[in-house]
């Protein structure tokens, strides 16, 4: 029987195949939250419950932050953007899915919000940010990025964070609960009814990848797994990290 997960550390995934998953999901799903949080049953309340939990955490621990410039990495259809208050200074979100970006642009018409269709490689090469970032969100994105690009992304974000005021970086990902990473490479999922790719790194691997944040003065202010009732996997689990740097 073929194993579900690949345990080899440096297995790379194909970004174009990941993009196809989300393009297909949005066409099938009425609810963008269910589409991006990968739940197939429209009656399943888990995506909304997770979204509510995360929104409350962000609101209580990061917001409000007057005139803050927000970076939303892998913004999807604007789920994080919908949490933000009206007093932000600006927002830039990017995603590799053109359909999700089109959806976000229809919802958020304010000049404060800017959405761009691009993948991580284009984002890094284009150097599109010409302002300092006060709050960076990296939510459900890192699992779709290969190691080399993820290292470059974290380093780039660390360099772009504001040094004139307090700054936050919020990371939330699905982690491997095993002692090693687990990778799905073009694996057929009966639950999603499509082929799926993702890299589930361990907590210790992420702690090493976070070095650019720590080297630039950020500290982990809070970290933790989502409550058990919001988890639905045995091999993997949702965990958040909130980095904070004082002025």
Q: What is the pLDDT of residues 112-136, one digit of tens each?
A: 999 999 999 999 999 899 999 999 9
State the CB neighbour count (10 A cutoff) for residue 145. Answer: 24
Average pLDDT of the residues in 165-191: 92
Q: What are φ and ψ of residue 3, in 5° steps?
A: -70, 145
Could you tell me which residues come within 8 angstroms of residue 157 by beta carbon, excluding any fewer than 6 positions away? 71, 73, 133, 136, 138, 169, 212, 213
Residue owning tokens 């029987």 = 1
Q: In this structure, how many other beta carbons lie within 10 angstroms of the beta carbon of residue 41?
A: 10
Q: How far apart are CA 120 and CA 126, in angstroms?
A: 10
Task: Out of 47-51, 52-56, 198-202, 203-207, pick the least confident.
Answer: 47-51
Q: Is the pLDDT of residue 46 over 70?
A: yes
Name which CATH class applies to 15-175+209-245.
alpha beta
Give tens-digit pLDDT for 208-234.
999 999 999 999 999 999 999 999 999
Which letter does DSSP use for residue 141 in this model? -
Write the CA distances from 91 to 52, 102, 134, 184, 188, integer angstroms.
21, 16, 10, 32, 36
Report the run of H or E that residue 6 belongs to, with start and end: none
For 162-184, what is the mean pLDDT?
Answer: 95
- Euclidean distance between CA atoms 52 and 184, whole angstroms: 28
Average pLDDT, the chain: 90
Total-model pTM: 0.92
Other CB atoms within 10 A of residue 229 CB = 9
pLDDT tens across 56-96, in order?
A: 999 999 988 899 999 999 999 999 999 999 899 999 999 99
What gap in Å lies between CA 15 and CA 223, rounded to an integer? 28
Give yes or no for a contact between 136 and 74, defined as CB atoms under 8 angstroms apart.
Answer: no
Q: How confident is the model at residue 1 (pLDDT cuts 50, 70, 90)?
A: very low
């Amino acid at each position: 029987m073929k194993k579900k997960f690949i345990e080899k550390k440096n297995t790379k995934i194909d970004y174009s195949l990941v993009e196809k998953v989300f393009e297909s999901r949005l066409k099938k799903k009425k609810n963008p939250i269910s589409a991006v949080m990968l739940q197939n049953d429209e009656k399943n309340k888990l995506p909304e419950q997770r979204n509510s939990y995360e929104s409350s955490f962000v609101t209580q621990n990061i917001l409000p932050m007057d005139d803050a410039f927000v970076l939303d990495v892998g913004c999807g259809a604007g789920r994080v953007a919908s949490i933000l208050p009206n007093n932000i200074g600006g927002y830039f979100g990017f995603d590799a899915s053109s359909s999700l970006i089109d959806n976000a642009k229809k919802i958020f018409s304010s000049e404060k919000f800017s959405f761009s269709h691009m993948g991580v490689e284009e984002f890094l090469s284009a150097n599109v940010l010409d302002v300092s970032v006060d709050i960076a969100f990296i939510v459900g994105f890192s699992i779709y990025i290969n190691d080399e690009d993820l290292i470059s992304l974290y380093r780039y974000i660390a360099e772009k964070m504001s040094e004139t005021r307090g700054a936050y970086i919020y990371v939330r990902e699905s982690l491997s609960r095993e002692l090693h990473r687990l990778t799905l490479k073009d694996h057929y999922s009966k639950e999603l009814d499509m082929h799926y790719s993702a890299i589930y790194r361990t907590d210790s691997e992420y702690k090493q990848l976070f070095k650019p944040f720590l080297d630039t003065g950020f500290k982990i202010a809070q970290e933790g797994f989502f409550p058990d009732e919001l988890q639905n996997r045995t091999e993997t689990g949702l965990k958040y990290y909130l980095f904070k740097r004082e002025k």
